[in-house]
Amino acid sequence: MAMNFKRANREEPEINLIPFIDVLLVVLIFLMLSTTYSKFTEMQLKLPVADTEAQRDYPKEVIVSVSSDGRYSINKTLVEGRSVEIIGNALMGAAKAGKDSVIIISADALASHQSVITVMEAARRVGLSQITFATQSSAGAAK
């Protein structure tokens, strides 16, 4: 009996690259989505100075000032009375652009919450829906 020591012709094993490519694509997509770009913090810019007061559209603005003791003034004119109706009528008189007017509430830091809500309610009743609040920067407050 002769022993057969011949090896059977086995095929060379192939490395299947498709699952490897799939995993690499998933990792690439994950890295692309999770990377934060800090382009804005890399450069120190000094922006040009413009006269912002000249760019504002004054006819559409109605500035309502609220003092700390609850008095109101509209466009630097003191309003006699503190009711919603009186303030609403004064707002309509001051709103030269009609419904397109922008109400800017400039309230003292110590003004009551109710006095600011009164201005907002008066503006809503007369149909003035564009309201914003004036603030000052912390650098201006330190002076």
Convert the pLDDT of each residue in 80-129 to its tens digit: 888 899 999 898 888 887 788 889 888 888 888 898 999 999 999 998 88
Q: Tell me how far apart the terminal alpha carbons of the chain are, to the nearest angstrom.
A: 110
In this predicted model, what pLDDT tens digit does every residue of 43-66 receive, in sequence order? 566 667 766 555 555 678 888 888
C-alpha to C-alpha distance for 111 and 100, rounded to whole angstroms: 27
* Order of strands across the sheet that contains 130-133: 77-79, 72-74, 61-66, 102-107, 130-133
Band (20; pLDDT cuts 50, 70, 90): very high
Does the pLDDT at position 75 exceed 70?
yes
- pTM greater than 0.85 (yes/no): no
- pLDDT, residue 24, reads 95
C-alpha to C-alpha distance for 65 and 70, rounded to whole angstroms: 10
C-alpha to C-alpha distance for 103 and 60, rounded to whole angstroms: 8
More confident residue, 137 or 34: 34
| CA distances for 52 relative to 57, 58, 82, 117, 140, angstroms | 10, 12, 33, 29, 17
- pLDDT, residue 5, reads 64
Does the pLDDT at position 77 exceed 60?
yes
Band (29; pLDDT cuts 50, 70, 90): very high
The architecture that CATH gives domain 52-136 is 2-Layer Sandwich (3.30)
